[in-house]
Amino acid sequence: MLADDELTDMERRVVKAAATGEPVGFGSDSAAEAESWPAYRRVRAELLVELLTGRRGRAEHGPKGVTLVGVRITGRFDLGGAIVSCPVALLGCWFDKPIDFREMQAVSIRLNDSHLPGIAADYLRTSHTVNLAGLVCKGNASFIAAHVGGQFVLNQARLKPASGLALQAWGLTVDHDMWCYGGFEAEGGVQLAGARIGRSLALDGATLTNHDGYALDARDLTVEQSMSCADVTATGGVDLSSGHVRGMLDLRGASLTNAKGRALDAARLTVGQNMRCWDGFTAAGTVCLVGARIEGALVMSEAKLTAGPDVQVSGDPETEVSDGPEAKLPDQRGLALEADMLTVGQNVSFASTVCDGELRLTDAQIGGAIFFTGARLTNPGRDALVAVSATVGNDLMLGGGCVVTGEVRLHDTRVGGIVDLAGATLANDGARAFYADGLVVDGAVLGMGLTVTGEFRLTATHIGGHLDLSRADLSNPGGTALEAADLVVGGNAFVRNGFSAKGIVVLTGADVGGEFDLRRARLSNAGDYALAGRGLKVGGDMICGDAFTSDGCIRLRDARIGGRLDFGEAELTGAKDGVGLDAEGLRASALVLMPVRPPDGVVDLTDAHVGTFLDRPSSWPKVLRLRGFVYESVTTKGVPVKKRLKEWVSRHEGGYAPGPYDELAAAYRRAGYGERARRVSLEKQWCRRSKLNVFGKAWNWFLWATVGYGYRTWLAAVWLAAILVLGSLVFAVLHPAELHPAGAGTPAFNAFAYTVDVLLPVGDLGQQAAWQAEGAAVWWSFGLALAGWLLVTAVVAGLTNALSRDQH
């Protein structure tokens, strides 16, 4: 203990002032100039220890407080394990040696604007504030497991050790606020792992640097109110993994850089309100939100995210949090944001954000909407946005000028509102640009004005509302432009008004509940399918007309159209394997086949069934497949039956087939055009000769000449009358020379009656039995009898319509 006569005048003043708590000081000059201060501004640390521990002065009273301003404190200031019952305020002071406050118990400590070579305050306990505002520390500052009963203030403090951590505060407890803003600087890292802040934590405008680890390591940190890191600069990254922030977490304008890995590690972080990484927030290195839970909104608008090196990032929230930014976990490359299993109670916004690298939201649970309006996501040739198996409670907004270079993956995700892609630009040349297999959208999918370079994939996607791709431009030449097999659309599908697809549009097995409108769409895939829609189902009309153009085959085999399939004023060019329109097995209430000019290639209507078939001669293709084509009615106005037969039915591939004639005749008959139906049936039988042998052709010709194939049986009467006249004349000439009475009592000879008996196999006028024929009369009788039998056979066949049912 220092003797009283050893004290300097300055030290005596300090002792005296301590009794009342009055301050002792020397103006406002900076402690940085302490080396030039005169000797009278010096106070030995040993004296201060004696005063604060009660070893100097009257023990029953003790000091009221020690307050020094602008004093140079020499020697070791060691209060380790001490109990200090008065406030300690050493303001703007200079310390020669590091301070030791380890396991000290104190009321409050103020070291504002002081300079010191280091401070050790592990397990420190104070009932009130620790204020280190403006402190300059050139060594380590350690507050491991310290407990501050009031506020912990480090505003404008500068912690710059030569090596090691700038601030070590593992397990720190602060009952009120912890403030490290207003120019706070730490070179070497700030360690707050396991710390608990009773109110708010503020690091606004702080500059944190650590080239060997995280600039801020706050794993398992608990902040009972808000945490604000606005405009913070952290070189080395920030670790908030497994932390709890009960209020808002604000990182607006922050700049986080980690050349070795994660710029922000917030895996399993819990935020009770909003988390804001916006308004100029910059992260050079991965932002990790794996398993994080944000009760409010996640706002990353106007941020800039840049993937770090090929780091390895945890995708499992059960995994132990790493002890540093370079910890090796399951390999992922090029990640700018890793947010697997993220949970957000309200909206997530990436509006106007620039992201260079993969943005991943796999298995995320978003209570509100997600906004990418105006964002630019870049990861060429790789995944740019991944939201696989995610759940979005409201809308997914990817439109409004959003530009994505790389693949967007949304497969097996559920969206409770709409998916908006209107005005977006997606580019992944030669590969998948948009992959949404199994996506479920309760509302609509809007892609008006969407531009896609690469494959746009909606396989097995379920859309509860409308699908609108009006004015969209999908380009993947030589590949698939739109892959939508097994797509389900509850409402209408609008793929119109300038929609363009370069590459195949695949709609195999798709199901559109309402109307499918392709008016003024342009499909191009020369030499292959332009539209592959086998098994497509449309509840209403499917309109491929009104300047719809297709360069490639339109395949609608086995399609089911509840309304009409309309190709009115369309332009169908190109074919695959010679087929321009494949509608085999089609079912539709109406088929309008009136393109502006005949389609290229074969139009295949094999086994198609439609209610109404509307066409026009100027649109008839060169080759048709009509086998099994069934329709209730057909265009009659302006299409004469002869033209329909000679220039439409006759173009059936493979020549004659009975079905097209039968169907056309039936349609005419249902429309009340009986004569047209008969002409079609006659033409059918006439054309049938091409399939017959010589004898069949002869019989066919005979039926045509005698009864008109059963449709002009009156011809038989004409032939019968002619033969009766001929027979009567012949037998009149041959009687009596070659016609003799058969016996006594023979009736008088009647040439007409004799001819009737010979000609008709039924009935008997008695003439043939009464007169015996000889010579030429025998041959004439035989010939007339044969003619009679043939006429009767033809008439019977015609009346029973046997020949008209003959399909061979």
746: pLDDT strictly greater than 60: yes
Residue 107 and residue 192 in one domain: no
Strands 440-441 and 167-168, by their bridges, are unpaired
Q: Say if residue 683 is in the same domain as residue 708.
A: no
Q: Does one domain contain both 789 and 737?
A: yes
Identify the helix (H) or strand (E) that includes residue 506.
Answer: strand 500-506
Give residue-wise pLDDT tens across range 438-496: 999 999 999 999 999 999 999 999 999 999 999 999 999 999 999 999 999 999 999 99
> Is 211 in the same domain as 348?
yes
Kindly write down the DSSP assignment for every residue of 723-742, as one continuous string: HHHHHHHHHHHHTTTSEEES
Count of CB atoms situated within 10 Å of the CB of 516? 28
Question: Is residue 685 domain-shared with residue 717, that is, in the same domain?
Answer: no
Distance CA 115, CA 137 (A): 6
Residue 105: give the domain boundaries: 1-159
Are residues 135 and 216 located together in one domain of the fold? no
Q: Residue 469: inside a domain, yes or no?
A: no
What single DSSP character describes residue 635?
A: -
Give yes or no: residues 197 and 107 share one domain.
no
- The arithmetic mean of pLDDT across residues 504-526, rounded, is 98
Shared-domain flag, residues 674 and 711: no
Cβ neighbors of 125 (< 8 A, separation 6 or more) are 103, 104, 105, 106, 146, 147, 149
The residue that leads in pLDDT, 720 or 178, is: 178
Q: What SS3 state is found at 224? A: coil
755 plus 683 within the same structural domain:
no
Report yes or no on 524 lying in a domain: no
Is pLDDT at 313 greater than 50 in this prediction? no
Looking at 110, 129, 159, the residue that finishes a domain is 159
Residues 393-419: tens digit of each pLDDT: 999 999 999 999 999 999 999 999 999
Residue 681 lies in a domain: yes
Handedness of CA 325, 326, 331, 334 (dihedral sign): positive
Instruction: State yes or no: pLDDT of 611 exceeds 90.
Output: yes
Number of structural domains in the chain: 4
Q: Collapsing DSSP states into helix, strand and coil, what is residue 269?
A: coil
- Is-contact 94 68, C-beta < 8 A? no
Same domain, 185 and 93: no
Give the max Cα distance, the chain. 192
Residue 212 burial class via C-beta count within 10 angstroms: exposed 0-12, middle 13-18, buried 19 and up: middle
Place of tokens 């050349």: 259
- pLDDT tens across 525-572, in order? 999 999 999 999 999 999 999 999 999 999 999 999 999 999 999 999
The tens digit of pLDDT for each residue in 641-689 reads: 999 999 999 999 988 888 999 999 999 999 999 889 888 877 777 776 6
Please report how the helices 694-707 and 714-734 are oriented relative to each other, as an axis angle in degrees rounded to 10.
90
Q: Rounded CA gap, 546 and 569, in Å?
A: 5
